[in-house]
Structure 1
Amino acid sequence: MSYQPSAALLDKYADVLINFALNSGEGVKPGEVVQLRVPEVAKPLLVALRDAVLKAGAHPLIFFTPDDISRGFFELASEEQLSFFAEKFYRGTVDQIDHTVAILAETDKQELTGIPSKKIMAFQKAMKPYMDWRRTKENAGNYTWTLAMYGTQAMADEVGMSLEEYWQEIIQACYLDEDKPAEKWAALYTELYAYKDKLDALPIEKLHVEAENTDIWVQIGENRKWLGGSGRNIPSFELFISPDWRGTDGNIQFTEPLYRYGSLIEGAYLEFKDGCVTKATATKGEDLLREMVAVENADKIGEFSLTDRRFSRITKFMGETLFDENVGGQWGNTHLAVGSAYRDSFTGDPATVSEEQWAEMGYNNSVVHTDIVATSNRTVTAHLKDGTTQVIYRDGQFTI
């Protein structure tokens, strides 16, 4: 018989997501509306999430998506259908909701293999207004979200684990093996934020990342702060920042496979000059990688991140970016996101900043945000505004 997570475990999982992760670590409030976006295969977790929302006195708004229907859509959809945007529906949804919980769960990790990448990106581009509306509401302090994962047999098979082994990684990574996992998350964030505060205190002008087949410079820019935790992803062990995209130069070799848009990219390699990707190659899925960075502003970075191996409870490749961008292992990880920046990296009130001002500060804006991960041993050196340098990360951990 296939492994099934117990109802008690899923209740604990739902408690973390509803009563901790949302509202930036404070949990939902009575009367709020929580959008639950859950695939069919993860129905047991949907039930637990709904119950947690109701017990908190909030209102669940359920979006339950059937399994295995994406390929048929992309095979049949015309250009007009791919670019259709249900403006009234999505505008009303954004106006109505206070929070979103989205669950990753797949029954076919490579469902869209062979589908022309142009079709996938056309559909992605059409959804940009929805993403922009949510971001504006989030910047105003009126919306939060969290992302989590429900393990399936297909996900476990893809990375060579049994379903029970796969779930054990989820359980460990999310502190679900603890009596009160939310308290463990709060304690972790306290430790992480001690390093975040040290990074924020350094007047960093640029970061220099050196590793095998990697030599890249990332300009931080003015009015930036490091981010981490806050409940946006469960699990999350990283510290990250949205830099000034214009100051990215050099090359980076990514080591971890990337599952994106129902396809697999392996051996991704990017070169940057004056902030833009000038070369994109991969040992597998190169066409999709190139099509992805060809989307408007997806050839620029929106995020730079470091994960300290001492904090992460993730040690295995899981085939899902949510986990893989937080892997610890021997050397921790570095990941870049090409595409949209996180505007809450701004030190002021993001709700008061115009689109022109965001552009002037070098915050990238794109419909795409794709994290690509490197776990090779690296040294990260901060070049400070006074002309001095300081190594901030080496051998998989922060040195500050």
Structure 2
Amino acid sequence: MLKETQLKRYADVLIWGLRTARSKPFKKGDIVLVRFNIDAIRLAEILEARLLEMGMNPIRRMSPTPEMEKNFFRLANRLQLVFDPPGEEDLYRHLNGSIFLHAPASITHLGTIDPKKISRFTLSKKFLRDILEDREQAGLFSWTLCMLPTAELARHAGLSDTEYTKQIVNACYLNRKNPVDQWKSVFKNAAAIKRWLNSLQVNYFHIESENIDLTVTPGEQRKWIGISGHNIPSFELFLSPDWRGTNGHYFADQPSYRSGNLVKGIRLTFRKGTAVDVAADMGVDFVTKQMKMDRGAARLGEFSLTDKRFSKINQYMANTLFDENYGGRWGNCHIALGASYADTYDGDIQSLTRAKKVQLGFNDSALHWDLVNTEKKRVVAHLTHGRRTTIYENGCFTY
């Protein structure tokens, strides 16, 4: 659905994102994994050529088709479910970059699969994600990803193929001759807002909307990050709070697809950092099972805000990458249940041991599930010296 010129621009933006997201520069001979769905094969071809021209060693890996994935979870026994191919761990210990091109031919094919099987598989691969997190903290690895339009995504979003494609083109600036320049401008403007946010001494944030009344405690040695190159597009600014200081009510008005299941109207009640009550207009049983995946799955891993001045996304897209960056009339906030992000640590990230993460309240889980609210809202920072300041209102940061 994207034109050849737009695909080449997309590749340029992804290379920019991969480079920007890494704290140390790439060098010739570095290994970059390119994962892609079959409908993204043309963009994968363009990217591989770019990486070869840069002197990198690209490794291509096509994702399973919906039928393959469904058969795997339907037929795999317990040992097959957690099987790791020889060399997989060694590859991850040497990876310097990863790019994922998401172009799903189906987003509901796993809807009949027992969520416990999917959770067991996810948990078995957590050690690989931990390896990459450690390499990223050392400046040896970075990642980025994007999404391409497909008929399946457009259908579930209630848009025509043309309308859906237009959202992606506008959001990623693929209608510009040099979209990388536009991304650099967004990056610069966001940096100013992050400096302001990180200058505040905050005890806790209070988020209020028609259906939200939530307090989130940033915790010690935290910083706001975002628009870092990791996701294309990405307009959110976020932190991983001290999960122990989360209290109150949260509501996700945007539907969410996860593991083939559609969930609508999730309502969570947090007490002393843990979601103790859950309700949903659709899919409450699935939500409950996800939150039992491990000890951290019912805790907060992320709190995020998107400024509508950055984001051109104004339609529901049936995909978290775009939905968590929704601009629209009132911007959005989202929380993520599960894993936190170590790079929101305001200190020498290489000194952030697993024990120190526990001490500071960084959450650990195999789950990371973004739940989005697009209601009109106000976010007030309660500062350490007793004052209050509104940091976000009417869809914009107040900076």
- TM-score, with length taken from structure 2: 0.96
Q: Which residue of 1 aligns with 2:40?
A: 42
Alignment of 1:142-181 (within 5 A): 142-181=140-179
Aligned letter for 2:199? A
Of 7, 12, 17 in structure 2, the residue corresponding to residue 10 of structure 1 is 7
Q: Which residue of 2 aligns with 1:344?
A: 343
Q: Do the aligned partners of 1:258 and 1:264 also contact (CA within 8 Å) in 2?
A: yes
SS at match of 1:371: strand
Taking the aligned partners of 2:213 and 2:337, their CA distance within structure 1 comes to 17
Q: Which residue of 2 aligns with 1:264?
A: 262
Taking the aligned partners of 1:220 and 1:309, their CA distance within structure 2 comes to 23
| Structure 2: runs of 5 or more not aligned | none
Please give the per-residue CA displacement for 1:160-200, whole angstroms capped at 9, x wherever unaligned.
Answer: 22222211111110011111111110111111111111100
Aligned letter for 2:41? K
Q: Do the aligned partners of 2:107 and 2:259 also contact (CA within 8 Å) in 1?
A: no
Deviation of the 1:249 alpha carbon: 0.4
Deviation of the 1:44 alpha carbon: 1.3
SS at match of 1:186: helix
Q: Which residue of 2 aligns with 1:130?
A: 128
SS at match of 1:294: coil
Q: Do the aligned partners of 2:209 and 2:375 also contact (CA within 8 Å) in 1?
A: yes
Alignment of 1:211-360 (within 5 A): 211-296=209-294, 297-360=296-359
Taking the aligned partners of 1:199 and 1:163, their CA distance within structure 2 comes to 39
Q: Do the aligned partners of 1:220 and 1:244 also contact (CA within 8 Å) in 2?
A: yes
- TM-score, with length taken from structure 1: 0.96
Q: Which residue of 2 aligns with 1:364?
A: 363
Deviation of the 1:361 alpha carbon: 0.2
Q: Do the aligned partners of 2:206 and 2:381 also contact (CA within 8 Å) in 1?
A: yes
Q: Do the aligned partners of 2:245 and 2:272 also contact (CA within 8 Å) in 1?
A: yes
Aligned residues: 395
Q: Do the aligned partners of 2:308 and 2:395 also contact (CA within 8 Å) in 1?
A: yes
Please give the per-residue CA displacement for 1:112-164, whole angstroms capped at 9, x wherever unaligned.
Answer: 11211111111111111011111011111110000100111111111122222
Deviation of the 1:95 alpha carbon: 2.1
| Structure 1: runs of 5 or more not aligned | none
SS at match of 2:93: helix
Deviation of the 1:24 alpha carbon: 2.0
Q: Which moved more, 1:292-301 or 1:324-333?
A: 292-301
Q: Do the aligned partners of 1:36 and 1:101 also contact (CA within 8 Å) in 2?
A: yes
Deviation of the 1:94 alpha carbon: 1.1
RMSD value, Cα: 1.4
SS at match of 1:230: coil
Taking the aligned partners of 2:130 and 2:305, their CA distance within structure 1 comes to 26
Deviation of the 1:90 alpha carbon: 2.6
Aligned letter for 1:39? N
Aligned: 1:22 with 2:21: no
Taking the aligned partners of 1:12 and 1:55, their CA distance within structure 2 comes to 16
Q: Do the aligned partners of 1:38 and 1:102 also contact (CA within 8 Å) in 2?
A: yes
Please give the per-residue CA displacement for 1:320-353, whole angstroms capped at 9, x wherever unaligned.
Answer: 1000000000110000011111101111122112
